[in-house]
Structure 1
Amino acid sequence: MSNTKRQDMKSSAEYVEQHLQTLEKTDITEMLYYSQEQAFSPEELAKVVNEQRLIELLAQSDAFLSSVNAAIEDFDK
């Protein structure tokens, strides 16, 4: 292997190592950021969440899952 090719490989390996270290630092920063989040109280959630709309969405998702299950059962037959 030529000397230039070895240097290119070393540069590539160094670049990968540097990139992985950057990702690791990003993960640590994100963990620190998210660990400082505070939970909402039930009162705060009640102000933000539209309970009626949430119930409607849950009903729609249940209906969708039921239709998928029925389609899968029909497919098996």
Structure 2
Amino acid sequence: MTDKKISMDDKSSAENVEQHLGQLEKAEVTREQLYYSQEQPFSSDELARLINEERLNKLMAQSDEFLKSLNGEIGDFDEGDINSDR
């Protein structure tokens, strides 16, 4: 009889944990829905006002330079592999 009671208590505990986890998941979904419902898109005028175009252009030029140098390094690396087989 005590074995039955222990297994019933275990099952009850497991059910309680499962129920609690389900409630946490529902709360998280609700929190995400609330968060995303508060997002508002920017108009093009607002974006133009917020973006520092000069700084953005400098950053883009730097990234272009970086990618060019990276491509050169990759090319040199590939050529090194070809020459090392000979």
Q: TM-score band (shorter)?
A: 0.5 to 0.7
Distance 1:20 1:45 in 2: 37
TM-score scaled by length of structure 2: 0.58
Count of residues in correspondence between the two structures: 75
Structure 2 residue runs without a partner (length 5+): 1-5
- Residues 20 and 53 of structure 1: CA distance in aligned 2, closer, same or farther (over 3 Å): same
Q: Which entry has the higher C-alpha Rg, 1 or 2?
A: 2
TM-score scaled by length of structure 1: 0.63
Instruction: Calculate the aligned-residue CA RMSD, in Å.
Output: 3.1
Query: Which residue does 1:5 correspond to in 2?
Result: 10
Q: How does 1:1-77 map to 2 (within 5 A)?
A: 2-34=7-39, 36-41=40-45, 43-46=48-51, 48-49=52-53, 50-63=55-68, 65-66=70-71, 69-70=74-75, 73=78
Distance 2:17 2:9 in 1: 12
Identity between Structure 1 and Structure 2 (%): 9
Distance 2:36 2:64 in 1: 34
Structure 1 residue runs without a partner (length 5+): none
Q: CA deviation at 1:12?
A: 0.9
Distance 2:76 2:36 in 1: 41
